[in-house]
Chain A
Amino acid sequence: MAAPSLLRGGLRRLFAGLWGRGWASPPARALREGESGTGGTIEGKIIEDAAAPTPPNPSGQCPICRWNLKHKYDYVDVLLLSQFIRSDGGMLPRRTTGLCLEEHKKIAVCVQMAHRAGLLPNHRPRLPEGHTPKKPKLNRYLTRWSVRSAKPIWKRGPKWCKVPMPVGHPLLKDNVKYTHKFLNFNH
């Protein structure tokens, strides 16, 4: 079958670069081909990853606790959210990222809201043909439900029992607030 031969070929390349140097550190995930001076030989080099900076709280269980970000992120913090998504916009599994269940759900909700607000324009799903997606004509933010699933509220009701329009997500109700304003999840 093709798979074992590929594996053997890859390992041979790895060992070709290491010959005479020893096994300094575990190899990087990706395989990079180095340029050879004389034509003909292909040499694989082990490129060491840059050391990750130490988190402020190394004894935490999930990355959010380790970096003391527990109730401090929102749909706006795209730099943080983009580390947990694939290139087509979907979330990475928990067993890969190491997040605890509640933080994974919160990050998923924030990522959904960021997508609907248009803050992640390059993480779109790949379309099969040259079919250009239509640009959304309406701006929105803090959308809890998907655009296609929300139905109009034809009868909102009297002032004392109005049907609310949900905004944001209740999973984020414990976020740190720097104002004294009450966080409203229903408008």
Chain B
Amino acid sequence: MASYTKAAQQWATFARAWYLLDAKMQPPGKIAAATVIRLEGRHKPIYHALSDCGDHVVIINTRHIAFSGNKWEQKVYSSHTGYPGGFKQVTATQLHLKDPTAIVKLAVYRMLPKNLQRRTMMQRLHLFPEDVIPEDIEKNLLQEIPQPRAVPRRLDEYTPEEIAAFPRVWTPFLP
């Protein structure tokens, strides 16, 4: 702010930024909450609902999202084609296997405010099932959003020194 020209300051304030979010082992609800904040522009002090200040968000690894609880089996996504007898219900597992980005897309769509801006904000959301991104999007990325959930370490990811340093909590009773 000290030595920038007015034009540069204006650009830095109002330019649309591109954020990256890795959804590996993350719950889709928390991913959606983090993206909706960026898509609306609520992370900026210049936010106003009508001033179209949202940013782009690129979500990668949507194939590897993790649901808590038994939601893979219990959560049901329903839709109706409009024709009689067209009520379709699929479980989260079936939907994910058919389209790996659908769960995150629906989560973000349903979390956005239900106004006319929602469709433009969804156009600024980019979902990729793996971490392969087209080059032109990759060149635009500015910053990575931190992951909402701390991924736990598996037992084989601990080094043998750490396993040995952990004390044996019980010893077998030898008569």
Contacts and interface: CB of A to CB of B under 8 A. Distances in A.
Interface of A: 26, 29, 49, 52-53, 55, 63-64, 66-67, 69, 75-76, 78-80, 82-84, 96-99, 117-123, 137-145, 147, 150-154, 156, 165-168, 187
A151 B74 contact: yes
Determine the interface band of chain B, counting residues with CB < 8 A from chain A.
35 or more
Contacts of A29: 172, 174
Contacts of B169: 55, 63-64, 66-67, 69, 80, 83
Contacts of B64: 139
Interface of B: 25, 64-76, 89, 91, 93, 96-97, 152-156, 158, 162-163, 166-174
B153 A140 contact: no
11 contacts: A29-B172, A29-B174, A52-B167, A75-B152, A78-B155, A118-B154, A119-B152, A142-B69, A144-B69, A154-B76, A168-B69
Contacts of A55: 169
B69 A187 contact: yes
A61 to B, nearest CB: 12
A156 B89 CA distance: 12
Contacts of A26: 174
Contact of B173 (A98, A117, A122, A141): A98
A98, A120, A123, A141 pick with most chain B CB within 10 angstroms:
A141
A139 B156 contact: no
A110 to B, nearest CB: 12
B126 to A, nearest CB: 22
Contacts of A138: 66-67, 72, 93, 96
Output the residue of B65, B72, B76, B158 with the most chain A CB within 10 A. Answer: B72
A167 B68 contact: yes
A79 B161 CA distance: 12
Nearest to B166: A79
Q: Which of A75, A143, A144 has the most CB of B within 10 A?
A: A143
Contact of B70 (A84, A117, A154, A166): A166
Nearest to B71: A165
A167 B163 CA distance: 29
B158 A78 contact: yes
Given A120-B154, A143-B70, 6 more contacts: A49-B171, A78-B155, A79-B166, A96-B173, A119-B155, A165-B74
B158 A79 contact: yes
Contacts of B158: 78-79
A4 B74 CA distance: 56
Contacts of A96: 172-173
Given A52-B167, A79-B166, A143 B89 contact: no
B99 to A, nearest CB: 14
B68 A152 contact: no
Contacts of B152: 75-76, 78, 117, 119, 141
Nearest to A119: B154
B128 to A, nearest CB: 17
Contacts of A79: 155, 158, 162-163, 166
A165 B156 CA distance: 31
